[in-house]
Amino acid sequence: MSVLAVTKKDFKGARRSQTLWAATILLGLIAVLLGHTSSGHRLSGTEIVQSQFQTMTQILAVLLPIVALAATYMAIAGEREGGGIKFLLSMPNTRRDVFAGKLLSRFAIVTSGVVFMYIAAVSVSLTKHGAFPVGLILGTLLMTIIYGSVFVSIAIAISAAAATRSRAIANSLVSYFVLVILYVFPLIQVKNLVRVVHTGILGMESNPDLYNAVQYTSPYLAYRKSINLVVPDGLEQQLFRDSAANVDQSATVQAATADLDLPIYLTDEFSIVVLAFWLVVPLFVGYWAFNRADLE
pLDDT tens digits, one per residue of 263-282: 899 999 999 999 999 999 99
Supply the pLDDT for residue 258.
45
Alpha carbons 293 and 277: distance in angstroms, whole number: 24
Supply the pLDDT for residue 184.
85
Supply the pLDDT for residue 263.
87
Alpha carbons 89 and 94: distance in angstroms, whole number: 6
pLDDT tens digits, one per residue of 147-196: 999 999 999 999 999 988 899 999 999 999 999 998 887 667 788 788 88
Q: Return left, alpha or beta for 218; rule: phi > 0 is left, psi -120 to 50 is alpha, else beta.
A: beta
> Can you list the alpha helix ranges (DSSP code H) found in the chain?
3-14, 18-37, 45-72, 77-82, 84-88, 95-129, 134-161, 165-176, 182-184, 190-195, 208-215, 219-227, 251-257, 271-292
Which segments in the chain show pLDDT lower than 50? 246-259
- The answer to whether residues 68 and 76 touch, using CB atoms and an 8 Å cutoff, is no
Supply the pLDDT for residue 252.
39
Supply the pLDDT for residue 186.
67
Q: Is the pTM of this model over 0.85?
A: yes
- Please give the radius of gyration of the chain, using alpha carbons only, rounded to the nearest integer: 21
Alpha carbons 232 and 236: distance in angstroms, whole number: 7
Instruction: Using DSSP, state whether 238 is helix, strand or coil.
Output: coil
Supply the pLDDT for residue 190.
80
Identity of the amino acid at 15: R
Supply the pLDDT for residue 245.
53
Alpha carbons 226 and 16: distance in angstroms, whole number: 33
